[in-house]
Amino acid sequence: MNHKPMRREVINREIREIEYPLDQDGNPIKASQLFGESTFDYHTAREIPDHIRKELQEISRSHTPISKDHASVVANAALEWAMARGATHFCHWFQPLTGSTAEKHDAFINVENGLPIEQLSASQLMQGEPDASSFPNGGTRSTFEARGYTTWDLNSPMFLLDGPNGKTLCIPTAFISYTGHALDIKTPLLRSEVRISQAATRFLQATGLNDVKRVGTTCGPEQEYFLIDKAFYYARPDLVMTGRTLFGSPSAKNQQLDDHYFGDISERVMGLMQELDLELYRLGIYAKTRHNEVAPGQYEIAPIFTESNIASDNNQLLMAPLRRIAHKHNFEVTYHEKPFAGINGSGKHLNWSLSSDTGLNLLSPGKEPHSNFRFLATVATIIEAIHRHGGMIRTSIASASNDHRLGANEAPPSIISVYTGDTLAKIFDEIRKGEKVTSREIGTIESGVQQLADLSKDNTDRNRTSPFAFTGNRFELRACGSDMAIGLPLSILNGAVAEVMDESASYLEEEVKKGTNLDEALIGLTKKWLTNSHQVIFNGDGYSDEWVEEAKKRGLPNLKTSADALPLLKDEKATNFLTTQKIFSKDELVMRHNVLVERYNTLRHIEFNTMVSMINQYVFPAVVKYKNELSQCVKNQKDIGIESAFEKEIYKKLNFASEGLYNRLNQLNNALEELPSDMNEESKTIANKILPLTEEMATFCGQIEELVPDEYWALPKYYDMLFIR
C-alpha cells in the first residue's frame, strides 16, 4: 500500500465551517445567551412555579423522597419544554459499570381513550426499568434475573440529545438492581456527597460556624485527548479495537522541542474546538480552557468548577459530543491514556475542593495561611485521609489503559503522595515540632522589565509529578485516566475525607468542651494528623528512582499495576471506611472488583489478539516482500560480480528482527493457552509476564518498520497520525 494518496487526502481536507448563531439584529450571540438552552433544570426553569421550585429545593437539601405530585409538575413542564424544541422521545440516561453511559429511548406518544397524545408521567420521570442482566454486575445477577431500575436524580439537569432528524429528552438517573445494589457510578457518588456534607458541616460547626447547614464537594475535571485523522485511524486496527497503537516506530521529532504545548492551534482543530464549545454551552457546561497539550496531536479542555455530581455527569456529556463533532471534522478522538509509545499520554486531572452553603471554600488559605487555623486543620485532615487510604485512591483509578501512565515516565507515579508546596510544608513542620508558627511573605515576582507589571506570587508552586497536589485553593487528583468516569475516584476520595473529618469534629468538640481555646484546639488537631501522616507529604520529583526507594522506606504502597491494586476492593480492612459510612455495601465492592478485574483481563485479551492478527496480516507480509526484493537484488549483483554488503546487512537485521518477533509470537500464543483460571491470578500473569512479552514484540515491530520501505508498510506511521493535519 502506498501512503501518498492517504496523506494527500488528509493534507487537502477542507475545514468545516458552521454558521455562528446570530441575534435578531445579526450580531453574534454571546456565550451567556446560549448557555443552558438545551437543558431543563428545575432550579431555573420558568415552567416551574416558584412555590414548587422552593419545595423541590428543600426536598433536595433534606435528602427526602420526592412526592408524585411534585414529580408530576416537573414532568409536565419538562414535556412541554422538550416538545417545543423538537423532542419526540425521552430516555433515562445513566452510567453503568461499563465506564460510559447508557440510554433507552421511549416515545412521548401514548394512547388515551383511543386517541394519540404526548405524555411524560410522574412515574415515567421518576423510574425506569432497563434490562439489568446485560450490564456488568460482577456475578451478582444471573442472566435470567433481568430486573433493574433507573431513578431520577433531580439535582442533575435534564438535557436534549440532538439526532439527525429530531431530539431526545435525557433524564439523568441512578441505576439500581432489583436487590437494591448500586449497578452504576452515580449512586455511590451521591451517597459519598451526603456523608462528606454531614461530616464537614459538623466540623465547621465545631469551629464556631453554626450557620453552615451543608457542605458540598466541587470538581473541575480537565479532559485530555488525542485527535487522529479518520483516514489514518481506520487504517490502524489497533486504534479501532483498543484505542492505542500496539506498536509503531517513534518519529524522529515528537515532543522534544516542547513546541506543541500551548502552541498555535491549527485551523482545522480550532474549528472543531469552537463547534464543541457551542455545543457544551447549550448543554450548560462551563467550558473554559482549550489548548494544545504536550504531545503532538494532543489537546485539552477544562471546565469551571461545579458540584461533583454535576461535574461527573458533565464530563460524560463532554466526551460524547467531542467524539461526534470530531467525526464531522474528519477526526477521531481517542481518550486512551497512552495511545502512542514514547510521548505523553492523557490524564483527567480532578480539581477538587470543599464549599459550604454560606460560600466558604474550606481550602482557601487567605492572605495569611499561617494564622488560618481552620484551613490548616482542614488540609491536615485531608492529608491524613490520603495517608490512610492511598491504596484505595490508587485502586479507584486502576485500569488497563491507565497502567501505561502510572509509574511510567510521566505524571503521576503509582505511589499516592501529597504535595503541599514549600509554604505549607514549613508551616506544617513547625506545627508538628511544636514550634511557633511564623508568617511568611509571599510577595511578588519582579519581571525586571519596566513595561510589565510585577506578578502576584502564589503560596505554592505546582508539582506535575504529584498524584495529589495542593494548588492554592484546591487539591488536584492528577492520577485519574482520561478515559475514565470520575465518579468512582470521587466517591472514594469523598469517603476517605469524610471519615477523618468526622474524627476531626469529635476531637474539636471534646477539646472545646474541656475549655480549650478554639485556635489551640485547631493547632492541636493539625499537629495530631501531621504527626501521624507527614510521611505521605512529598514535594520533590515523583519521577525519580530515589522517590520509589524513599516511599518504600516510608511504608507507602506502590501498587504498580491494576492486578496489584484491584484486589483491595475485596479487602475488608482496606474498604471498611466505605462500608461503615454506607457509601458502598460489601457486595457492591465485590461486584466492582469482579467487574474491573474481568474488564482488565478482557481488554488485554483484545489487545493480544489484535496484535497477533496485525503481525500476521501486516508485519510478516511486509517482511517477506522486502526480503524477497533484497535477496533478488543480492542475486542479481552476484551474477554480474558486484558485492552486496549493505543489502546483506539490511537483510540480516530484518531477519534478526523478524525471527525474534516470530519467536515471541509463539511464546505469546503458548502463554495465552496456559493462563490460570482464577481471574486475579490471570490478571497478575497478564500484567507481569504477558504484557512485558508484547512490549518486546512491539520493539521488534518498530525495528522492522524502520527497515521496511514505506511502499511495503501498509499501516499509517506515527509521523502520519501525529503530524499530518
DSSP 439-472: -----EE--S-TTSPPEEPPSS---TT-SEEE-S
pLDDT over 80 (residue 169): yes
Same domain, 175 and 212: no
Burial class (CB in 10 A: 0-12, 13-18, 19+), 692: exposed
The C-alpha atoms of residue 559 and residue 313 are separated, in whole angstroms, by 29
Same domain, 475 and 486: yes
Taking residues 37-66, what's their average pLDDT?
89
Peptide bond connecting 365 to the previous residue in cis, omega within 30 degrees of 0: no
pLDDT over 60 (residue 674): yes
- H or E element that contains 613: helix 586-614
Lowest mean pLDDT among 8-22, 196-210, 399-413: 399-413
The CATH number assigned to the domain holding 131 equals 3.10.20.70
The residue ranges of DSSP E strands in 278-382, in sequence order, are 287-292, 298-303, 306-307, 331-334, 350-356
Q: How confident is the model at residue 452 (pLDDT cuts 50, 70, 90)?
A: very low
Domain end among 184, 201, 233: 184
- At position 273, the amino acid (one-letter code) is M
Same domain, 642 and 705: yes
pLDDT over 60 (residue 461): no
Q: How confident is the model at residue 439 (pLDDT cuts 50, 70, 90)?
A: low
Q: Which pLDDT tens digit goes with each residue over 88-104?
A: 999 999 999 998 999 99
Q: How confident is the model at residue 455 (pLDDT cuts 50, 70, 90)?
A: very low
Question: Quick one: pLDDT at residue 105?
Answer: 93
Same domain, 606 and 658: yes
How many residues are given for the chain? 725
Total structural domains within the chain: 3
pLDDT over 90 (residue 128): no
Q: How many of the other CB atoms lie within 10 Å of CB of 361?
A: 17
| Residue 328 resides in a domain | no
pLDDT over 60 (residue 327): yes
Q: Which pLDDT tens digit goes with each residue over 592-603?
A: 999 999 999 999
Same domain, 61 and 170: yes
Same domain, 542 and 672: no
The C-alpha atoms of residue 425 and residue 138 are separated, in whole angstroms, by 43
| Residue 384 resides in a domain | yes
Taking residues 456-461, what's their average pLDDT?
52
Same domain, 105 and 195: no
Domain end among 526, 549, 584: 584
pLDDT over 70 (residue 351): yes
Percent of the chain whose pLDDT exceeds 70:
94
| Residue 348 resides in a domain | no
Question: Quick one: pLDDT at residue 447?
Answer: 43
Question: Quick one: pLDDT at residue 536?
Answer: 95
* Nearest of 606, 650, 621, 626 to residue 714 by alpha carbon: 621
Question: Quick one: pLDDT at residue 148?
Answer: 83
- At position 473, the amino acid (one-letter code) is N
Question: Quick one: pLDDT at residue 371?
Answer: 78
The C-alpha atoms of residue 232 and residue 215 are separated, in whole angstroms, by 48
| Residue 177 resides in a domain | yes
The C-alpha atoms of residue 654 and residue 115 are separated, in whole angstroms, by 75
Question: Quick one: pLDDT at residue 563?
Answer: 96
Name the average pLDDT for the chain: 91
Lowest mean pLDDT among 276-280, 347-351, 546-550: 546-550
| Residue 190 resides in a domain | yes
Question: Quick one: pLDDT at residue 721?
Answer: 95
- At position 522, the amino acid (one-letter code) is L
Question: Quick one: pLDDT at residue 450?
Answer: 52
Dig out the grid coordinates for 685 from the structure: 500473569
Same domain, 642 and 526: no
Taking residues 413-442, what's their average pLDDT?
83
Question: Quick one: pLDDT at residue 160?
Answer: 97
| Residue 677 resides in a domain | yes
Q: How confident is the model at residue 142 (pLDDT cuts 50, 70, 90)?
A: low
| Residue 56 resides in a domain | yes
Return the CA Rg of the chain: 28
Burial class (CB in 10 A: 0-12, 13-18, 19+), 515: exposed
Task: Print the SS3 string covering 671-709.
Answer: HHHCCCCCHHHHHHHHHHHHHHHHHHHHHHHHHHHHHCC
Residue span of the structural domain in which 654 resides: 601-723
Same domain, 493 and 415: yes
Q: Which pLDDT tens digit goes with each residue over 197-256?
A: 999 999 999 999 999 999 999 999 999 999 999 999 999 999 999 999 999 999 988 888
The C-alpha atoms of residue 277 and residue 33 are separated, in whole angstroms, by 13
Same domain, 469 and 573: yes
Same domain, 575 and 634: no
| Residue 325 resides in a domain | no
Find the helix packing angle between 68-84 and 50-62, rounded to 10°. 120
Main-chain dihedrals φ then ψ at residue 15, nearest 5 degrees: -80, 125
Taking residues 161-184, what's their average pLDDT?
92
Same domain, 533 and 658: no
Question: Quick one: pLDDT at residue 445?
Answer: 42
pLDDT over 90 (residue 486): yes
Question: Quick one: pLDDT at residue 444?
Answer: 46
Q: Which pLDDT tens digit goes with each residue over 238-248?
A: 999 999 999 99
